[in-house]
A and B are shown apart, each in its own frame.
Chain A
């Protein structure tokens, strides 16, 4: 993949689903062992061109997510590099036990690409939202969970999984076409490692996925108010980069911000770390409530839940006033 400013802007405009298909096209040219399977969401995964150019490397499984996982595991067992796509809840919940058996228990190296996670499905509603997927997937042993911040990071993540043996994985796509890009410059992505996006002193923010774009905008406003925040992209939720505990220890307050229910996501992961290592830092979590909320356009929903740049800024200011 060729990272430059023009490409990064274009990828951001196209959004994560279209870009998934585009990156897979490039990978298929280099990796003849690649097979992509979808439970009738090939078009929604930006794979329309892939199906035409690489018909032998694409299998349409039909709307049968449980079966999708078993078939993928059989192919992986025979040495293929397998990527499967469906919407986040249909993978993480409908096929949860198949993932547990085939990927977790038997360790078949299938890559699950969870489309439209978080609130990004907008008007398609709660049936399609990925509200609880991290919480569910992270309880399964041996399964990596990776949440790219923007389309350029998605490209790096997909290439990393396609050309290395990382074991079973759940790749969580959030954001929509036009979601803010997070990375302006090229960088070296390392599997399982956090990426510090900005240094600061007043507060630490840990986050993952496309919401990082909103946080970056928020940090610009905060900077004008002389508030400096350190921002870390926790791109790998499992395995978690253990160095995060050292960073947390340096701050009085840490906030986790995520497009996921407050139950079981990054907030819970960090709470577990804080307890385990007896860290004194105060933890706050900006996330989605433990309930089914309203349906609206994606950007409206972010605003509704206070997870747009403005909402995040307000919450951080409120939090810091309490010091």
Chain B
């Protein structure tokens, strides 16, 4: 187990490094803060679950599409995306932009960018899996700011009505939205109450603690979908980005890039 956790930690470092590399390489502002907050969540999901391109088993949907830098990086680490393609991120006419564009051949399940839509799609997949007696899981990552979208709660209701115990939602509670701190009714504490109130099995944890994340995924319910309320830090790992919402969508200069690499190496 310890070995596994170490591997996931190493993977997390690699993902963080790629996020910074390709973000710097594009020379444009990109969504770095919200990608860094979900690094451990994604490295754990892609290690704990069996996510494949051909004959899909477990399925991952990034509903908070602006976390795409993290997804793209993990897809590269899994061997689905080539290194030379990574360098196309946010270059003119590239298919790798600020938000995912569906491409099943490299493991991108959905096109996203418009918030509050990924969970409904995940519910559709989870219902399909149940009908086919397929014993795999559907995992959807949403942002805390995204939870203001009403359509997300519509999906949350259907998930419990359909007893989708094969469905996970991971809420990245990094405490920030585009305009700054998250409003008080969508705080970490309130978030737990809301998902519980909607009838979900709730596991809350430190979203950067890999063993805590694994435990949270293991604590499934027999009949309910599971919401993992993950407390995270926006910009995690880069000292000058942590809890600094300027990095929700920011541009790395050479100096800042070098500083950021130094920072993740120290971490």
Seen from chain A, the residues whose Cβ lies within 8 Å of a Cβ on chain B are 56, 59, 61-62, 64, 66-80, 97-98, 101-102, 105-106
Contact = CB atoms under 8 A, between A and B. Distances in A.
A80 B128 contact: yes
Interface of B: 102, 110-112, 114, 116-129, 131-132, 150-151, 154-155, 157-158, 161-162
Nearest to B155: A67
Contacts of A74: 120-128
A102 B117 contact: yes
Nearest to A72: B124
Contacts of B123: 67, 70-71, 74
A66 B120 contact: yes
Contacts of B122: 74
A183 B220 CA distance: 56
A75 B21 CA distance: 37
Nearest to B162: A59
A78 B125 contact: yes
A267 B80 CA distance: 48
Given A62-B161, A72-B124, A78-B124, A67 B110 contact: no
**Top 4 closest pairs, chain A to chain B, by CB:** A74-B124, A70-B120, A78-B128, A64-B154
Contacts of B131: 56
B132 to A, nearest CB: 7
A105 B102 CA distance: 9
Given A74-B122, A98-B151, 16 more contacts: A59-B162, A64-B154, A64-B158, A66-B116, A67-B158, A69-B120, A70-B119, A70-B123, A70-B124, A71-B127, A74-B126, A77-B121, A78-B125, A97-B114, A101-B111, A106-B102
B contacts with A: majority SS = helix
Given A101-B117, A106-B110, A106-B111, A75 B157 contact: no
B102 A70 contact: no
Contacts of A72: 124
Contacts of B119: 70
17 contacts: A67-B157, A67-B158, A69-B120, A71-B121, A71-B123, A73-B120, A74-B128, A75-B124, A77-B121, A77-B128, A78-B124, A98-B120, A98-B151, A101-B112, A102-B121, A106-B110, A106-B111
Given A64-B158, A106-B102, A70 B111 contact: no
B154 A66 contact: yes
Contacts of A71: 120-121, 123-124, 127, 155, 158
Contacts of B102: 105-106
Nearest to B122: A74
B125 A77 contact: yes
B188 to A, nearest CB: 25
A91 to B, nearest CB: 14
Nearest to A78: B128
Nearest to A59: B127
Pick from B118, B120, B131 the residue with the most CB of A within 10 Å.
B120
B117 A98 contact: yes
B128 A62 contact: no
B127 A66 contact: no
A71 B121 CA distance: 5
Pick from A75, A78, A79 the residue with the most CB of B within 10 Å.
A78
A196 B254 CA distance: 67
B121 to A, nearest CB: 5
Contacts of B129: 78
B128 to A, nearest CB: 3
Nearest to A82: B124
A64 B119 CA distance: 13
A67 B125 contact: no
Pick from A56, A74, A75, A77 the residue with the most CB of B within 10 Å.
A74
Nearest to A39: B154
Contact of B128 (A56, A70, A75): A75
Contacts of B118: 70
A184 B128 CA distance: 41
A61 B158 contact: yes
A105 B111 contact: yes
Nearest to B134: A78
